[in-house]
Structure 1
């Protein structure tokens, strides 16, 4: 299994726009070969938003990532976010 995890740090006034962007990523990923689960999450103790995607393999993720993220390529993340997201590519240890 392979996990793509992105922790976003939205400016409070742009949290809804960033969440909508994350939902567009979720929609673009539907039907991707090897995708097991995808979703957007909000941390209850902060303003952070977390994108979590579980894949059968890293190869499956890499085969679909460019097409999926094209759905939000023009979104103004630099205006919406306090800092770039913390992105993790996780494999089981």
Structure 2
């Protein structure tokens, strides 16, 4: 299994914009070969938003990532976010 985890730091006035963008990614990923689960989450203790995607393999993620993220390629993340997201690619040791 492979996990793509992105922790976003939206400006408070753009939280809804960023969340909508994350949902567009979720929609674009539907039906991708090897995708197990994908979703956007809101941290209850902060303003952070978390994107979590579980894949059968890193290869499956890599084969679909460009197409999936094309759905939000024109979104103004530099205006919506306090800083770039923290992105993790996780595998079990």
TM-score (normalised: structure 1): 1.00
**Aligned position for 1:81:** 81
Corresponding residue number in structure 2 for 1:12? 12
Could you tell me which runs of 5 or more consecutive residues in structure 1 were left unpaired when the two chains were aligned.
Answer: none
- Note the C-alpha offset of 1:85: 0.0
Q: Secondary structure at 2:74's aligned position in 1?
A: coil
C-alpha displacement of 1:86:
0.1
Segments of 5+ residues of structure 2 without an aligned counterpart are none
Give me the whole-angstrom Cα distance separating, in 1, the residues matched to 2:29 and 2:92: 22
Q: CA deviation at 1:76?
A: 0.1
Aligned CA RMSD, in angstroms, stands at 0.2
Q: TM-score, normalised by structure 2?
A: 1.00
Distance 1:30 1:90 in 2: 21
User: 1:15: Cα distance to partner?
Assistant: 0.1
Alpha-carbon shift at residue 89 of structure 1 (Å): 0.2
